């Protein structure tokens, strides 16, 4: 099986629309949606577009997929989550909240891969390229697979701890990278980072038209070109 891992879309439908043709061209058998799919400016449309893939898509849960779990969030994120919740139907909210936190898939040329949002068994714990070996060992303690694919921090990385390889798929919707674009991972027969360029200015226009409470901040994130970004965590969208 060849898997396209699309993480942290955060309701950025234009980015998803750009990525899906490349997923098709790459010959992916399955789209693995790695959490935080709908919380963002176009929640209904983004979720619907992915569900149109039928049995070719599989979802795991991100922290922001627990849309109505508002405990501990700052007020801007509470407002944004409530805005999303007002647009999703009850069954859609239940679907997102009830997603599994992990998925284990057999990937061609790679073997059994554990896909999670933050860390194995958690949609909140974060792993970065700077996470200490000691802490990472604890997060991987119950993992039998030799490859773990995560997201949550919106930065692609590839690192090893002993026999385990940990790869961050990046963010389709709001990456924290040096250049704009939609970042994702193609798994099988190797693990290869992908970046899909798209019309970010047009995406910003569409996002501004939604009335999402964090529209201007989101626009700034999409348009930013910052060489200092790789390796830093996008704390705002990882939380919201």
- Tell me the pLDDT of the chain (240 aa) as tens digits: 999 999 999 999 999 999 999 999 999 999 999 999 999 999 999 999 999 999 999 999 999 999 999 999 899 899 999 999 999 999 999 999 999 999 999 999 999 999 999 999 999 999 999 999 999 999 999 999 999 999 999 999 999 999 999 999 999 999 999 889 999 999 999 999 999 999 999 999 999 999 999 988 888 888 876 656 554 333 333 334
CA dist., res. 224 & res. 133, Å (int): 31
CA dist., res. 238 & res. 162, Å (int): 27
- Please report the domains of the chain, with CATH numbers, ordered by start residue: 3-239 (3.60.21.10)
Give the pLDDT of residue 227. Answer: 59
Give the pLDDT of residue 228. Answer: 60
Diameter over CA atoms, the chain: 48
CA dist., res. 58 & res. 113, Å (int): 14
SS3 200: helix
Give the pLDDT of residue 230. Answer: 53
CA dist., res. 121 & res. 104, Å (int): 12
Please tell me the pTM assigned to this model: 0.93
Give the pLDDT of residue 181. Answer: 95
SS3 content of the chain, % helix, strand, coil (to 5): 35, 20, 45
Backbone angles phi, psi at 9, to 5 degrees: -75, -35
Strands 147-150, 30-33: pairing is: unpaired
> Tokens at residue 157, please?
């990385």
Strand order in the sheet with 3-6: 57-59, 30-33, 3-6, 182-187, 191-196
Of 25, 24, 23, the residue nearest 5 (C-alpha): 23
Q: What stretches of the chain adopt beta strand conformation (E)?
A: 3-6, 30-33, 57-59, 102-107, 111-116, 147-150, 157-161, 164-168, 182-187, 191-196
């Amino acid at each position: 099986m060849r898997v396209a891992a699309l993480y942290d879309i955060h309701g950025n439908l234009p980015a998803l629309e750009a990525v899906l043709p490349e997923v098709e061209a790459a010959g992916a058998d399955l789209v693995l949606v790695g959490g935080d799919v709908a919380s963002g400016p176009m929640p209904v449309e983004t979720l619907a577009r992915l569900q149109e893939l039928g049995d070719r898509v599989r979802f795991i849960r991100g922290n922001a997929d627990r849309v109505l779990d508002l405990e501990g969030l700052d007020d801007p994120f509470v407002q944004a989550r409530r805005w999303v919740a007002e647009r999703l139907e009850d069954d859609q909210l239940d679907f997102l909240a009830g997603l599994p936190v992990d998925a284990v898939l057999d990937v061609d040329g790679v073997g059994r891969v554990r896909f999670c949002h933050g860390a194995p068994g958690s949609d909140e714990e974060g792993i970065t390229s700077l996470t200490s070996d000691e802490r990472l060992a604890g997060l991987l303690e119950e993992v039998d697979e030799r490859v773990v694919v995560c997201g949550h921090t919106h930065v692609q990385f590839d690192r090893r701890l002993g026999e385990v390889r940990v790869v961050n798929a990046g963010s389709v919707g709001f990456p924290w990278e040096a250049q704009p674009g939609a970042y994702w991972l193609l798994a099988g027969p190797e693990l290869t980072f992908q970046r899909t360029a798209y019309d970010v200015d047009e995406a910003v226009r569409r996002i501004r038209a939604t009335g999402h409470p964090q529209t201007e901040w989101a626009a700034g994130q999409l348009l930013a070109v910052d060489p200092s970004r790789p390796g830093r965590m996008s704390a705002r969208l990882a939380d919201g």
